Structure 1
């Protein structure tokens, strides 16, 4: 068995620690703040689990990930996913093409006309795209993940298998130390291990230059762009949003997604609304350290206008708003690869949360040398 340091205790880091510790490895997790903190990408209670990808590789990956989520819920004794179902609509989503991939992968679904979908979900206005009615795809197995609860569950299971989790431990650099590695904090603290896994999310761009990785590997990495995104919570007109599904809508102008907001924001009477955001509609920043927390007024106007046009079941005035981080690659594929005992893992591009427990297994396999990550995730 080996010794590992995992840098970062968000969804990817917690999942990796859980899998490594479960295999009998000695694992130390170093988190700059606290697990699933608000400065990263794994905080809050609401992320979409959906199957709708135009690439069969990712559709199959969601099917595998759902099995891993089911196993995690059994082991932890917690409910981590709330079933809501999901809608895909808009000409840019091509619901018919997605339905064909669902058929191939065995994902339950219905392809509806906009009129039939509106009858079932009167809070939506379907078929308003300039390209006409492209239909609406419904898949009932989708839902909402609670990322904070998931991180907590995976770290608890990792600790039960002997892992150690250190908080308030910002990593400044990693250096080689004999046959292994030494991880350094700015205040002089250090941890040593044979292998290091970097799951630093939006902090990764600022850390890459402080890792003992060959120049050829760093040059081959895809560009990693951190985005400060905007998200808004809108109240339901009828005050009851239990029946609202998640959705993704892509037309000629923008890609918008929405989901029940969970604990992320509540009205004074305790009710919650629908969380809505424009995918990659925010602003690029150097790394998580440059996050401002400021909402872009132009983006707010865009989303409020979208709600007014497309979601008549919502009051078109947000009662809460926040920023969050996406860490993107140009292809939106993840990065899971490394060299010399240092593995870089960036399950990113705003869609990695749904894969978390499966990615933990994939990262653990890659870091331990048991199995390389799937080809789309490897550095050329």
Structure 2
């Protein structure tokens, strides 16, 4: 009689080792749960949304809800930096401006939630940040900065492993089926993994997986449609190469009716010598992340170059490097953090989720274990399902 190979089992499985998934695995393992983290390729890989060294950490939001969440998230970043002994957020500060950004309203919001800030006139801001041609009042946030996404993912994965989590790389998930004791997760190559509960943090691959997760139809009907963009970012060299001048560049968000742009010091991604500049939602829309091809749009490149010529005179308007990345968005730009029958869906997307990673790990752990709830705005599936009862 042949002996069967024992099937892998785990109390919790987290699917996806990006910023969201690695945070969830860390927090679950930190609380003493048995955790397996399944990653499609490797943590923070170049085809994911969490690679590279440059993501914006900012407090400015047009409503107190998200601004206060950033304040809470900062405590999680401080904890992680203290544990690993490495700086993960470079505090370069941030400026927000533009006719449709409404810096004055943003300043009022930050005043409400107790975040240090300053509202500057355009001329005063130009004197302070000579490389940027401001066209409105400017909100300055000295506590903002740049997240090293890759280092953060690797730090949280390491912490998850330190607390006993098992990490499986090159484990692309195809589907989940319910079993008598929980769920069986199927890989694209036929491997399986059994568990009691699942956290799905699949990023740009979530739209592809949703129909194969053993979720109730009423729950799935409430999940909003996703737009998955292949965004493009361009690195422009600083015109003034003096280290002090290069180090004085903040992150920025500039919104006008005809063009929305964001930029930040590129860090390792740009050999520490340039600013990463992008058009907000300027890439092509895909069905899911599997359709990415890494090809930069010539038209998008031209639009960004023209923007740099007009609004960023402190940069040489010739990109020396360029890249694509995955940007997944919901119609309202709210996150999805919802649970049903032991499956937690975690999609802190819409281009602004990175800064919340440690907090979202705690929220996902709360929701998955039943320890506490999460804001109802993050639970569209549960709201939809309740209407069908």
- What's the TM-score once normalised by structure 1's chain length? 0.96
* Secondary structure at the counterpart of residue 345 of structure 1: strand
2:121 pairs with 1:113: yes
Corresponding residue number in structure 1 for 2:377: 376
Task: Please give the residue correspondences for 1:185-224 in structure 2 after superposition, counting only pairs within 5 Å.
Answer: 185-224=187-226
Corresponding residue number in structure 2 for 1:287: 288
Counterpart of 1:53 (choices 61, 69, 72) is 61
* Secondary structure at the counterpart of residue 61 of structure 1: helix
Task: Please give the residue correspondences for 1:338-357 in structure 2 after superposition, counting only pairs within 5 Å.
Answer: 338-357=339-358
Corresponding residue number in structure 1 for 2:304: 303
Q: Which 4+ runs in 1 deviate beyond 2 A?
A: none
* Residues 332-360 of structure 1: per-residue CA shift (max 9 Å, x gap): 00001021111111000000000000000
Counterpart of 2:110 (choices 102, 113, 116) is 102
* Residues 91-144 of structure 1: per-residue CA shift (max 9 Å, x gap): 1110000000111111111111111111111111112xxxxxx31110100000
Counterpart of 1:40 (choices 35, 43, 48) is 48
Q: How far did residue 372 of structure 1 move? A: 2.1
Structure 2 CA distance for aligned equivalents of residues 28 and 242 of structure 1: 40
Structure 2 CA distance for aligned equivalents of residues 55 and 254 of structure 1: 22
* Secondary structure at the counterpart of residue 173 of structure 1: strand
* Residues 48-94 of structure 1: per-residue CA shift (max 9 Å, x gap): 00011101100000000111100111111111010100001111110
* Residues 231-289 of structure 1: per-residue CA shift (max 9 Å, x gap): 000000011411100000011211100000011133xxxx5200001111111101110
Higher mean alpha-carbon deviation, 24-33 vs 257-266, is at 257-266
* Secondary structure at the counterpart of residue 306 of structure 2: helix
* Residues 300-342 of structure 1: per-residue CA shift (max 9 Å, x gap): 1111000000011000111111111111100000001021111
Q: How far did residue 296 of structure 1 move? A: 1.3
Structure 2 CA distance for aligned equivalents of residues 216 and 326 of structure 1: 26
Corresponding residue number in structure 1 for 2:5: none
Task: Please give the residue correspondences for 1:65-84 in structure 2 after superposition, counting only pairs within 5 Å.
Answer: 65-84=73-92
Corresponding residue number in structure 2 for 1:273: 274
Corresponding residue number in structure 2 for 1:130: none
Please tell me the root mean square deviation across aligned C-alpha atoms, in Å: 1.0
2:373 pairs with 1:365: no
Structure 1 CA distance for aligned equivalents of residues 270 and 93 of structure 2: 21
Corresponding residue number in structure 2 for 1:87: 95
Structure 1 gaps of 5+ residues are 128-133
Structure 2 CA distance for aligned equivalents of residues 282 and 172 of structure 1: 27
Structure 2 CA distance for aligned equivalents of residues 328 and 136 of structure 1: 26
Corresponding residue number in structure 1 for 2:248: 243
* Residues 207-253 of structure 1: per-residue CA shift (max 9 Å, x gap): 11110001111111111111110100000001141110000001121
Structure 1 CA distance for aligned equivalents of residues 140 and 23 of structure 2: 29
Corresponding residue number in structure 1 for 2:324: 323
* Secondary structure at the counterpart of residue 194 of structure 1: strand
Structure 2 gaps of 5+ residues are 1-9, 384-389
* Residues 11-56 of structure 1: per-residue CA shift (max 9 Å, x gap): 0010000000011100000001000111110000000000111011
Structure 2 CA distance for aligned equivalents of residues 186 and 234 of structure 1: 40
2:21 pairs with 1:13: yes
* Secondary structure at the counterpart of residue 328 of structure 2: strand
Q: How far did residue 374 of structure 1 move? A: 0.8
Q: How far did residue 376 of structure 1 move? A: 1.2
Counterpart of 1:264 (choices 259, 269, 278) is 269
* Secondary structure at the counterpart of residue 208 of structure 2: helix
Corresponding residue number in structure 2 for 1:139: 141
2:170 pairs with 1:168: yes
Corresponding residue number in structure 1 for 2:259: 254
Q: How far did residue 186 of structure 1 move? A: 2.1
Structure 1 CA distance for aligned equivalents of residues 319 and 63 of structure 2: 33
